Amino acid sequence: MAPTIKVGDTIPEGEFGYIPYSPALDDLAACGVPSKLKTDEWKGKKVVLFSVPGAFTPTCHVNHLPPYVEKYEEFKAKGVDVIAVLAANDVFVMSGWGRVEGVKDKILCLSDTGAAWSASLGLSLDLSALGLGTRTNRYALIIDDLVVKYVEVEPAPGVTVSGADAVLAAL
């Protein structure tokens, strides 16, 4: 499925749930307090947003998120203000996943409820046949002042064009 959003487009408005990192969350028994982030908060910022079909799923957990954490300083050196990972999982799952992965305050773990925002980009994925419902596709965006500078969707299972190395090369 080709995305409907393309380079040069302004991203649509959206709102994501997330749990902001605080040191209290280092205690894995803590749950945190859900908050909202609106895409208009990215005005004037360079944002790397990558999306995964699900937290704790094999490819996402092992191959997609960890390289972004490992290469955090390289992204910052290229002028990236915000790195965010997006999935249709709820805010508590996304927060828990980020804590297990050691994300802390480096990467925002955002919940795209029902993959609604991703669907507005043409980037949702129907995984109902696997019992997973509608999810976010595996993709990456570079957004500069709300304008898309890079959009790539994985053409097959695995991580290539949406991975940390590909996005770093595009910055």
Give catalytic residues, as residue numbers. Answer: 60
Dihedral pair phi/psi, residue 39, rounded to 5°? -60, -25
**Kind of pairing between the strands at 15-18 and 35-38:** antiparallel
Instruction: From 141, 48, 33, 146, select the one nearest 95 (Cα to Cα).
Output: 33
How does strand 134-136 pair with strand 15-18?
unpaired
CA distance linking residue 125 with residue 166, whole number of Å: 22
